[in-house]
Amino acid sequence: MPRKIIIDTDPGQDDAVAILLALASPEVEVLGVVAVAGNVPLDLTSKNARIVCELAGRPDIKVFEGCDRPMRHTLVTAEHVHGKTGLDGPAMPDPTMPLQDGHGVDFIIETLRAEAPGTVTLCPLGPLTNIATAFEKAPDIADRVQEIVLMGGAYFQVGNITPAAEFNIYVDPEAADIVFKSGCPVTVMPLDVTHKALTTAPRVEAFRALGTEAGRMVAEWTDFFERFDKEKYGSAGAPLHDPCVIAYLIQPDLFSGRHVNVEIETLSSLTRGMTVADWWRVTDRAPNAMFMGDLDAEGFFALLTERIGEL
């Protein structure tokens, strides 16, 4: 039985690769994709989500618009990484598949209520606004979530948008605080893991060598957003953050981490959005998240290349 998932996302080239990986993988069933404001504003993330579904040959996927801004603050975006459209790189046709009627937050609530308890996994790849808003609006649903597997935060790598904070958590720390306190099983793919998922030249060439449209798009998206991280970190490629979430659902043994307490800093102007992970277990605060620390990068790219090749 495939695992039922809802992808909550702000595409983003790496979000796009994560969506492709999910749609190419029989281990997961995508019940819907909900767009959130993040890397770029909501009208672009919801458009990009549909572009990606069409690229995967899946115009039947339900795509919703969720929240257009963080719960308490103004939106911070990341065009400096992802480009003006959020999906800069190769030219892509506008989507023809429709957006679903209704708000994405209501879709999350209704789906969790309609499906058997403990059978739906939430996969947030952007700021946690939609998930936290759903939990606030419908407190009964948290108990029904199988697991939340999210990309966000950092411990050893600290921050990428400020010295202390990772982008997804920084954009909406109040939402992240609600999610980490929800009592749901939470698995976190922080920068500590995703900075090991580097798109080195041979890995990008392997996507291109697939000779398919999807392979070419993944290679060209990567070519585009790489330039920023290579310059910033002096690394051999850019981190493919969000696909780590989907890869974990398919092949969890690629990842290792610790079940620890993670709290979100919401008050300090200096460290706002920091994920304060008790990696060394120096407090008696109760563990609330599986915080990943390492991945088998070769295995990860082998899986990704094989599955993108299926599209």
Given 107, 135, 155, 167, the residue binding ligand BDR (CB under 6 A)? 167
Within positions 188 to 247, which residues make up the interface with Ca ion, using CB under 5 A? 242
Given 48, 77, 146, 160, the residue binding ligand BDR (CB under 6 A)? 160
Q: How far is the CB of 18 from ligand BDR (least distance, A)?
A: 9
Given 7, 19, 23, 39, the residue binding ligand BDR (CB under 6 A)? 39
Binding partner at 25 among Ca ion, ligand BDR, none, C-beta below 5 to 8 Å by kind: none
- Cβ 135 vs Cβ 182: under 8 Å: yes
Residue among 61 and 260 whose Cβ is closer to Ca ion? 61
Region of 10-18, 28-36, 134-142, 201-209 interacting with ligand BDR (CB under 6 A): 10-18
User: CB count, 10 Å around CB of 83?
Assistant: 18
166 binds Ca ion (CB under 5 A): no
Within positions 69 to 88, which residues make up the interface with ligand BDR, using CB under 6 A? 78, 81
87 binds Ca ion (CB under 5 A): no
192 binds ligand BDR (CB under 6 A): no
In three-state form (DSSP H/G/I as H, E/B as E, the rest C), the secondary structure along the chain is: CCEEEEEEECCCHHHHHHHHHHHCCCCEEEEEEEECCCCCCHHHHHHHHHHHHHHCCCCCCCEEECCCCCCCCCCCCCHHHHCCCCCCCCCCCCCCCCCCCCEHHHHHHHHHHHCCCCCEEEEECCCCHHHHHHHHHCHHHHHHEEEEEEECCCCCCCCCCCCCCCHHHHHCHHHHHHHHCCCCCEEEECHHHHCCCECCHHHHHHHHCCCCHHHHHHHHHHHHHHHHHHHHHCCCCCECCCHHHHHHHHCHHHEEEEEECEEECCCCCCCCCCEEECCCCCCCCCCCEEEEEEECHHHHHHHHHHHHCCC
Examine the residue annotation and report whether 103 is marked as an active-site residue of this protein: no
Residue among 10 and 229 whose Cβ is closer to Ca ion? 10
292 binds ligand BDR (CB under 6 A): no
Q: How far is the CB of 113 from ligand BDR (least distance, A)?
A: 28
Residue among 19 and 289 whose Cβ is closer to Ca ion? 19
126 binds Ca ion (CB under 5 A): yes
Q: Which residues contact 7 (CB under 8 A, 6 or more apart)?
A: 18, 19, 22, 30, 32, 33, 34, 123, 125
Region of 11-19, 44-52, 57-65, 198-206 interacting with ligand BDR (CB under 6 A): 11-19
Binding partner at 160 among Ca ion, ligand BDR, none, C-beta below 5 to 8 Å by kind: ligand BDR
Q: What is the Cα–Cα distance from 131 to 153, expressed in whole angstroms?
A: 16
Residue among 18 and 61 whose Cβ is closer to ligand BDR? 18
Residue among 166 and 226 whose Cβ is closer to ligand BDR? 166
Number of residues forming the site for ligand BDR (CB under 6 A) = 15
Enumerate the active-site residues. Answer: 241
Binding-site ranges for ligand BDR (CB under 6 A)? 12, 14-15, 39, 78, 81, 125-126, 151, 160, 166-168, 241-242
